[in-house]
Structure 1
């Protein structure tokens, strides 16, 4: 029997696109699946639509009601409820290509040293986000592995922890070199080693998790679009980017604390310089407040 894969769908008011996501889940060419839905108190018809799919497929569908506590908590609830050997996230507004899970599982089954596999992704751009700015975003973020120098063999690129020492790791404009959760599949057992997604983060928790994993095991990238990633006005990434979320400001501190000795010498110097400037600035503010 092929190992079980848990398709994890964290939801919140996803009525507009959830049917397309569910259709792509039940049409996978891979057979041994379960679908885990963790819902953050949706008030639209999301759960009603999901319930109809229990009559459209023999794939077990389990729906769990989750008390909202941030997106990371909902993602983690999916993982904790999952019974599969592998975790395959599918966000409510994204779509899986039919062979997505089959191809990803085959890669991991062939190489036990891999902890995660990701793929390239296509973009579905909704009309409310069609603009020159969106086109520019896709040009910058369309290929997350652009500029990396890991060899591609049989359409698969293996990324190891030497990524941290490369000049490309901290090179703008992109920090995520792996992929969004809908574009990755990983062994559930890795959470026993590295833990779950950080629930104190709102914007960078996906690739922070990937990099923690990469410190322990290699990651494969399939050089094929196996996921359709939707861009629209109300998606979490877009909403968070216009909020006061400070994840990006704390990213340097995460790197200093968790990855400092993994980085090359120039990157270490730049991080220390940035941190010194921040500490010096805060010290001056504190001195002014105390009249010193």
Structure 2
């Protein structure tokens, strides 16, 4: 059983998915911490992602899973990867993001070694996979679950196996803040590794760039019902603010 399983939801991503995944694998090969494996849940209609997984098989322990019949959205795809994870710690990593710090996995493993149920790490943004801008240290707020994302993408998240929470497959835009809220409610505050460990890639094919106003409205109403009992006054103020933005 590996110490960490890295769960990657993958798809063709407009023809760039395999290239992004190979870049991510290169960074994984450079990690100082070696006790990890990788599970890739693949919804591509071609063989490109599968070929990348096979090509790195002599340097990484990679399990490639076809998930062509599953719901075509990130929440369902990453859940499929997590269902097959064997590690003590489950680390989420989206296909277009990078563990940019070569000591990143070591830091996460060491910080969670004291029994922490979940952790978040610092992140930045990149367009070329090299230069990282806009460093961000995650922190939780009572406005988080309505889209005031002070944490970053799911790639900053790691969970201990016994505390594993799946993504809500009813959500697209708010899938990340929803899981942070549920982990916070269930297990308290996370361990935060403040260093910039994750680089979130910015590109035209990002799902967040294509979220419609009607989808925002639908998901905000869904979250209001889901967390009605645990939302504070400042949370409801954020809900109203986001509803107005989505008009």
Choose from 172, 178, 185 the match for 1:215. 185
- Gaps in structure 1 of 5+ consecutive residues: 128-137, 149-158, 278-292
Report which of the two structures shows the higher radius of gyration computed on alpha carbons: 1
Q: Normalising by structure 2, what TM-score?
A: 0.81
Indicate if the aligned counterparts of 1:202 and 1:245 stay in contact, CA closer than 8 A.
no
Indicate if the aligned counterparts of 1:15 and 1:44 stay in contact, CA closer than 8 A.
no
SS in 1 for 2:117: strand
Asked if residue 37 in structure 1 is aligned to residue 40 in structure 2, the reply is yes
Distance 1:274 1:7 in 2: 33
SS in 1 for 2:33: coil
- What is the number of equivalent residue pairs in this alignment? 233
Indicate if the aligned counterparts of 2:118 and 2:163 stay in contact, CA closer than 8 A.
no
Distance 2:25 2:241 in 1: 48
Indicate if the aligned counterparts of 1:117 and 1:220 stay in contact, CA closer than 8 A.
yes
What residue number does 1:262 align with? 230
Asked if residue 237 in structure 1 is aligned to residue 208 in structure 2, the reply is yes
Choose from 117, 120, 126 the match for 2:119. 117
Indicate if the aligned counterparts of 2:145 and 2:174 stay in contact, CA closer than 8 A.
no
Distance 1:9 1:267, change over 3 A: closer
SS in 2 for 1:93: coil
Distance 1:185 1:269, change over 3 A: closer
SS in 2 for 1:215: helix
Indicate if the aligned counterparts of 1:24 and 1:98 stay in contact, CA closer than 8 A.
yes
Distance 1:273 1:63 in 2: 42
Q: C-alpha displacement at 1:273, in angstroms? A: 11
Asked if residue 176 in structure 1 is aligned to residue 179 in structure 2, the reply is no
Q: C-alpha displacement at 1:61, in angstroms? A: 1.2
Once the two structures are superposed, residues 129-168 of structure 1 have per-residue CA deviations (whole angstroms, 9 ceiling, x without a partner) of xxxxxxxxx87xx5364xx6xxxxxxxxxx6xxx42xxxx
Distance 1:107 1:50 in 2: 29
Indicate if the aligned counterparts of 2:118 and 2:157 stay in contact, CA closer than 8 A.
yes
Asked if residue 106 in structure 1 is aligned to residue 110 in structure 2, the reply is yes
Indicate if the aligned counterparts of 2:41 and 2:80 stay in contact, CA closer than 8 A.
yes
- Gaps in structure 2 of 5+ consecutive residues: none
What residue number does 2:169 align with? 199
Distance 1:271 1:65 in 2: 37
What residue number does 1:186 align with? 159
Distance 2:201 2:234 in 1: 36
SS in 2 for 1:103: helix
| Structure 2 counterparts to residues 104-183 of structure 1, below 5 A | 104-110=108-114, 112=115, 114-126=116-128, 143=136, 145=138, 163-164=141-142, 169=143, 175-183=148-156
Distance 2:226 2:205 in 1: 33
